[in-house]
């Protein structure tokens, strides 16, 4: 419909002597201003030699009657508002009610897209940043899937490097069990502290780091293998709760030799500096970064070159998207600049999406004891907090509902912001069933589902009738496929999150006013409208990676 209106406006502008290359038709912020609107008259008034409102009136006159449009009006200084015909809205409600893939499109059909996200490091804790990367990456993956792309989820994990050596050193000193993933985090903290304060410990940790790369010490090899396995197994437990299943796992132990070889193969691009090998990013308006240390070990930068090559070898993608913290943006600019020279064909298909930081209203993410809260701790804390409410629900499995509510609480808070913005995480608001929260969307879905189920037990069928005076809810539901399409094109899940909140709010307001199962002839239509709401919320929540319980 939007494309049809744009073409009609281009033809109408031609009638007043304007050859418009393009015309923008948008969704008005307020439903009172129509289903679509354009400022074309304001844009081309000067060229037409007319005041904007006069041009708008002329364009409306020229447009005449458009199929699928009930009313066209001029507003304000020269805006043109379009109101869709009831039949168009009725047809979209029927789709929403009956089509499993309601909201999907084929814009990316045939495209192969790899999305890399989460990226926790074995031997360390699962941090808030990993939780944010997971939520954003999973939502972007699903938006692209709903656009017809073939999507592969990738997870890149640092299983070699100084952090591993620090953790292994800590395991040795503390005598902790390397099979216990939670103890590995404590061991890493101990090793990290010693590395900064004790020159002797630093020397020992550097030696362990080299031994991990060389695999030259049996004791270190055993501790490494045990700790790595325990960490990865624990991460899988968290992925299951979060609803993510990865297709490809990449490890620094695999990308390191590839990156090392790439850097060494291009002495014309990388330079020696104080015994290390660097890329002088100043030539690209950036900064210098080390790719091989003075000890001959590859840095994160070199490993990322190896990762890009490895991704391409494993699966020939059209685009590879990496979700990273905003603070790494400068780092990736340098890596990408170097990659354009050593892997030009791959570099052109690499894209980064950055996310901000998360903090509490009081400041940094810290617990009552003053320790920094990990992503895992926050998730488990929310699950515990949701258990009391879940126990009072109509759910068949209260524990499963508590997990679903906790996932909704944290993912919604992350996804409601534009990807690059920082997030202030408020626990009470996140878990609230009122207003701006994930559980609020879940509850609206469960309420709509319950109404439809009750109607079916009464033998009441859902049927879309001809609409005479469309309400806000019916007009909002029509927008769903377009919102999904736009959010996918921008790789911005928050656009969908905002829309779903509007739908849930409009449904709850309508629900409070209407007696749906009232025995009237219109009850069939009201049940069908409720079913359309349930499907829209269910599909929208799925795209966001948020569970949609049927009972709450």
Task: Determine the topology of domain 2-84 in CATH.
Answer: Gyrase A; domain 2 (3.30.1360)
Residues of the chain with CATH 1.10.730.10: 375-543
Q: How far apart are CA 510 and CA 89, in angstroms?
A: 17
Predicted confidence pLDDT, tens digits, the chain (552 residues): 999 999 999 999 999 999 998 999 999 989 999 999 999 999 999 999 999 999 999 999 999 999 999 999 999 999 999 999 999 999 999 999 999 999 999 999 999 999 999 999 999 999 999 999 999 999 999 999 999 999 999 999 999 999 999 999 999 999 999 999 989 989 999 999 999 999 999 999 999 999 998 999 999 999 999 999 999 999 999 999 999 999 999 999 999 999 999 999 999 999 999 999 999 999 999 999 999 999 898 999 999 999 999 999 999 999 999 999 998 999 999 999 999 999 999 999 999 999 998 887 776 665 444 456 789 999 999 999 999 889 988 888 999 999 999 999 999 999 999 988 898 888 888 999 888 999 999 999 999 999 999 999 999 888 888 788 899 999 999 999 999 999 999 999 999 999 999 999 999 999 999 999 998 889 999 999 999 999 999 999 999 999 999 999
Q: Where in the chain is the domain with CATH 3.30.1360.70?
A: 2-84
Give the burial string for 397-418 (b: 16+ CB within 10 Å, else e): ebeebbbbbbbbbbbbbbbbbe
Helices (H), 153-299: 162-174, 181-197, 199-214, 218-242, 252-264
What is the topology classification, in CATH, of domain 375-543?
A: Isoleucyl-tRNA Synthetase; Domain 1 (1.10.730)
Distance CA 119, CA 143 (A): 20
> How do beta strands 423-424 and 358-359 pair?
parallel
Query: Strand order in 150-157's β-sheet?
Result: 248-251, 150-157, 112-116, 319-325, 350-355
The tokens 């679509």 sit on which residue?
Answer: 36
Give dist(CA 434, CA 428) in Å, integer: 11
Its pTM stands at 0.94
Tell me 287's DSSP state.
-
């Amino acid at each position: 419909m939007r494309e049809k209106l744009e073409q009609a406006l281009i033809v109408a502008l031609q009638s007043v002597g304007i050859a418009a290359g393009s015309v923008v038709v948008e969704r008005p912020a307020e439903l009172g201003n129509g289903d679509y609107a354009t400022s074309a008259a304001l844009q081309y008034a000067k060229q037409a030699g007319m005041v904007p409102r006069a041009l708008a009136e002329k364009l409306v006159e020229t447009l005449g009657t458009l199929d699928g449009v009930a009313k066209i009006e001029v507003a304000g200084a020269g805006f043109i508002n379009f109101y869709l015909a009831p039949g168009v809205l009725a047809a979209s409600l029927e789709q929403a009610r009956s089509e499993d893939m309601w909201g999907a499109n084929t814009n990316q059909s045939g495209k192969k897209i790899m999305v890399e996200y989460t990226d926790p490091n074995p031997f360390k804790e699962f941090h808030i940043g990993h939780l944010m990367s997971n939520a954003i990456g999973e939502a972007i993956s699903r938006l692209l899937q709903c656009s017809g792309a073939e999507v592969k989820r990738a997870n890149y994990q640092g299983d070699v490097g100084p952090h591993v050596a620090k953790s292994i050193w800590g395991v040795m000193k503390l005598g902790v069990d390397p099979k216990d993933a939670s103890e590995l985090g404590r061991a890493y903290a101990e090793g990290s502290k010693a590395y900064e304060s004790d020159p002797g410990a630093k020397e020992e940790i550097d030696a362990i780091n080299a031994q991990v790369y060389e695999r030259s010490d049996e004791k270190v090899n055993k501790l490494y293998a045990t700790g790595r396995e325990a960490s990865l197994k624990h991460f899988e437990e968290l992925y299951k709760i979060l609803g993510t299943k990865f297709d490809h796992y990449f490890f620094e132990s695999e990308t390191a030799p590839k990156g090392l070889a790439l850097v060494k193969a291009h002495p014309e691009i990388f330079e020696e500096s104080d015994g290390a090998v660097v890329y002088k990013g100043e030539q690209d308006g950036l900064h210098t970064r080390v790719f091989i240390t003075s000890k001959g070990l590859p840095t994160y930068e070199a490993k990322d070159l190896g990762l890009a090559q490895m991704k391409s070898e494993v699966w020939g993608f059209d685009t590879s998207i990496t979700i990273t913290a905003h603070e790494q943006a400068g780092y990736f600019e340098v890596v990408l600049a170097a990659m354009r020279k050593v892997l030009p064909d791959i570099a052109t298909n690499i894209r980064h999406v950055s996310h901000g930081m998360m903090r509490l209203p009081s400041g940094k993410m810290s617990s009552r004891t003053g320790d920094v809260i990990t992503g895992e701790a926050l998730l488990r804390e929310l699950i515990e907090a949701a258990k009391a409410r879940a126990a009072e629900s109509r759910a068949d499995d209260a524990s499963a509902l508590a997990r679903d509510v906790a996932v909704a609480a944290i993912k919604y808070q992350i996804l409601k912001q534009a990807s690059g913005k920082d997030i202030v995480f408020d626990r009470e608001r996140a878990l609230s069933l009122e207003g701006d929260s994930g559980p609020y969307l879940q509850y609206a879905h469960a309420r709509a589902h319950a109404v439809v189920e009750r109607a079916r037990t009464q033998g009441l069928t859902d049927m879309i009738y001809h609409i005479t005076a469309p309400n806000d809810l019916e007009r909002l539901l029509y927008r769903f496929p377009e919102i999904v399409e736009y959010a996918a094109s921008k790789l911005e899940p928050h656009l969908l999150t905002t829309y779903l909140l509007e739908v849930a709010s409009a449904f709850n307001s309508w629900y409070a006013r209407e007696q749906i199962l009232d025995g009237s002839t219109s009850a069939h239509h009201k049940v069908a409208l409720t079913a359309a709401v349930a499907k829209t919320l269910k599909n929208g929540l799925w795209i966001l990676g948020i569970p949609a319980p049927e009972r709450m």
